[in-house]
Structure 1
Amino acid sequence: MASERSLEVLRVIVQDYVASREPVGSKSIVERHSFGVSAATIRNDMALLEEEELIAAPHTSSGRVPTDKGYRVFVDQLADMRPLSAAQRQAIETFLGQPDDVDEVLARTVRLLSQLTNQVALVQYPSFTRASVRHVELVPLSDTRLMTVLITDRGQVDQRIVDAGEAVDEAFVGELRAKLNGALAGRSLSEASTALPRIAERFVPERAALVERIGESLLSQVDANRRDKLVMAGAANLARTEADFGGSIYPVLEAIEEQVTLLKLFGEMEVDGSGVSASIGRENADFGLADTSVLASGYAPAGDGVAKLGVLGPTRMDYSNNMAAVRAVARYLSKLIDGD
């Protein structure tokens, strides 16, 4: 079992290696940090850490670097996350602002989180199982083309173009708009999904084919708002840290493009008492992400299940800063989506 001083040595090894990307030796630890003991004593502590497989030597006679297990112990021992600066907190409020809809606020969220952490930022759409249809709008684009617009009570706006295949007069568009809102407005997305396939029954048979096409478009919009999906930003950050990955970054890029993989990983990450969960290195091997760490926190719009947001990057990352940023952004996003 590592002693309290050995754990402190592990902490400075992690911090110095994250900062420099250079293996850390006993001499540099003594010079940079106030342990009040000799380099020989620090070497003994490092030997203990190596026996515990918390650090390793990448080359003969080199300094030491943290292992995945070492990062895990470091994160578990992380009592206090580095607080965000006043400028960072102000950036969150200013950058997110008051967007018009959920799509825009989530897009801004991942861009901001990527900038704060220099990692790939991920945010899961909130579960809209309890969302309702606020309004359906039909916008004529030409004699034969319409735009269907679905607006939910959670601020989501989804637009699709429909080729009517026949001329559509303004009077019929008005009638269809009124009947769609009469059938769907105020109903849950689940109820709307059930009602839409029968919407053509409200019209004369000669209009049935057109109404069915528009109904199919709206049904796909309803279903899209019910499915889990992710928004991502900052993939270019992987290229900047390519040296931190054991081989090519392409397997990592392929994995993050497969949203099902990341959604499953997010689903298995339990947020702890600090408000942030970490999955490190080999803990992600089953997802094809053994060279990465993923940090996640939850945010919960009122009445819905918890959705996740977080960052993905190499195991050599600034855990303290990144965990604080993930937690702060998650808390602000919860308030923003709830309209507080």
Structure 2
Amino acid sequence: MTADVALSAISQTFGTFRALDGIDLSFAASEFVVLLGPSGCGKSTLLSILGGFLTPTSGTVLIGGRDMDGVAPRHRPTTTMFQDYALFPHMTLRDNVGFGLRMKGMGRAARHAKADDMLDLVGLRDKAARKPHELSGGQRQRVALARALAVDPDVLLLDEPLGALDLKLRRQMQDELKAIQRKVGTTFVHVTHDQEEAMAIADRIVVMNHGKVEDFGTPEEIYMHPKTLFTANFMGDMNCIPAGLIATDTNAIHGVRPENVGLAGDVSLGPARLESTAFFGTYHRCHFRSEDDRKTFYVAHLQLGDLPPVDTTVPLFASRIVALKESA
């Protein structure tokens, strides 16, 4: 099952603190949406409102066209998966996955069959009789996902579910999570502060800051064509180009990603001295300082073989320059 989601003028205050400020968003059914932003930006608050754990100060939540005002979490077509998987240690994996079905009154045989199907979906059917303590962290994460999906939610809410995993396992689970979402077709709304994770799994990313939406689009749109300076800097390094070097809109802030700064390109940044370098496997991360009066600092990712000696002055160029607003 799956459903679209529409948020209209959602605001949330806690005393004098405004956690969310007029959020307007809509997600299509079967879409994988990531809420991304720094700590305190309001992304987990927004997820809690979707799940019914918080009632917004103002605004409307529609899921599948149905107004969620006054609908308790247990009656919503949503399931929430938290970073703490909260598996029952005394239960088998089959019983853990089937717990929600048991609470709904499904018979033992039917819920065991459904639990086995869900464990099969996450590659753990052969471990159905084991207990959670016998599993690795990644396997427990899969069991929690199977349990969340077993009750057939229209929308699955995920609150930093990969945050407790190490880097290698987290990347593996990102791929698996995306593949499972594609297979089941459920709408996923996933919270994270990890930019790489967001770009790896999302159909669209909502970038949040201080309770507002800074940007909303596909990973490529958010990274290559950020709308605001905050989005540009949050999604990676962004070089700001001094006013006057770009002949078009002199009132805009212009930026360029490090991979689009180099020894050739569309726009001349003038001569610059290479101050330092670091090797990152597929490229050299280089720090340049312009030789003009501005002494502008640039970060460039130069391909292997393109590296000039440190302290050398070279002509520097930029391509794929973007115009940015100060804020949303």
Q: Shorter-chain TM-score: which interval?
A: under 0.3
TM-score, structure 2 as length reference: 0.27
TM-score, structure 1 as length reference: 0.26
Larger Cα-atom Rg: 1
